Structure 1
Amino acid sequence: MVIKCAKMEFSNTSFDDSNISEEREVGGRIDKRKKIEGADEKYKSKNLNAERNRRQKLSERLLQLRSLVPNITNMTKETIITDAITYIRELQMNVDNLSEQLLKMEATHGEELETKNEEIIDTAEEMGKWGIEPEVQVAHIGPTKLWIKIVCQKKRGGFTKLMEAMNVLGFDLNDTSVTASKGALLVTSSVEVVRGGITDAHQIRDILLEIIRGIY
C-alpha cells in the first residue's frame, strides 16, 4: 500500500516585524509625551495654588493693616499702605513729643527731689545739732481715749501722711497741736479710738514709730 504525502513548502522569506517595532516606538513616544505633559500640569497646578495662597495671605495682611489704621481713605492696596505709612509717621511724631515731655518732667521731678533731699538733710542736721530724736509717747486718759505725743523730723507733706495713717488705725483726733522748731515737728493730740481700733498703749506706740520712720 502506497501512501502519498503532499509536499509542503515554506517560504524562505523571514517574518517582517518592522511594523510592530514602529508601533512600539510611536507608542513609547506618546507615553513619554503624556508623562511630560502630566508633570507640566502638576507643576502649573502647584504654581497656581502657591500664587493663590500668596495672594490670600497678602489680602489677609492688608485687612489686618486696615484694622490697625484708623483713617483709611480708600480700600485699594496702594491707599491702605500709603495711609498706614502716614499713620506710622504721626505715631513717631507723638512718641518724640511725649519723650520730650517726659524728659522735661523727669528733670523737674529731679530738681524737686533734690530740693526735698536738701530740706531733709538740713532738718536732720538741725535736729542732730540740738540733740532731738524721733519720739512717740502714748498714755491712756480714758477707756477709749489716749494722749499722744509725737516728735518727728519736719518734712513737706509729712504731717498730712501722719494724720492719714492715724485715721486708718481708727483714731479720731481732738485738740491737736502742731509745733515746728529746730528741724523737728511736735504733735500732741487727744485721740478717741473708734471703729474697733487698737487700744493697747505699747502696741500703738510701736506702730506709730514704724509709721514715722516710714514717712520720714
Structure 2
Amino acid sequence: MELLGTALDGLCKIEQGSVRERTGRERHNINDDNSNYKSKNLHAERRRRQKLKDRLHALRALVPTITNLKKESIIEDAITYIQELQRNVKVLSDQLLEMESSPEEGEKCNSDEANAGEEMKRNGIEEDVSVASIEGNKLWIKIIFEKKRGGFNKLMEAMTYLGFELTDTSVTATKGALLVSSFVEGSYGEKLTVQQTKDLLLEIIKSI
C-alpha cells in the first residue's frame, strides 16, 4: 500500500507539472498574440499618419496662400482658397454671359485689358515665376502675369510646345493679373531643373 501511495503521489506531481507547463505555454502564446496585435495596430497607425502627412503636403503645394504649416491652418487656408476660386468662377462665368449677350462688352473688355498693367502697379503686383521641386521629376509652379485676352491660352500652348505636362492646374484672376499654379513634369520623363524651368517660364510670360 505504501508503494502504491508513493506511486500515486508521483503521478499527481507529474500531472501537476504538466498542467503548469501547459498553462505557461498558453500564457506565453496569449502574450505573443497580444504583442503581434499591438504591433500590427502600430504599423497601421504609422501608415495612416504618413498618408495623412503626404495628403497635407500635396494640399499645401496646391494652395498658394498657406499662412501656417500646422494641419488646422493648411485645411482652413485651403477652404478659403477654394471659396475664392468658386467666386472667381462665378464672376468669370457671369462676364462671359454678358459678353455673349452684348457686342459692346467686347470693347469694354479691351479697355479693361489696357488698364490691367496699371491696376497691377497700383496694387504692388509684379509679374513673377516661382518653381519648387516636389518629388522625383515633378515640380510645382506659380506664375503671375498681366491679364490679357488669350494670355492664358498662349501660356498653355507655349508650355505644351516646350514639352511641359501640367496637372491640377488652377487659375485666379485678380487686380489686373492672372495667377496660375500647377504641377509640372517633363514629357517622356525628361528631367526638369528648377532654374531652367523658371527661366523658360519667365521668357514665355514676357512674350505674351
TM-score, scaled to structure 2: 0.46
Structure with max Cα Rg? 1
TM-score, scaled to structure 1: 0.45
The structure with the greater share of residues assigned to helix is 2
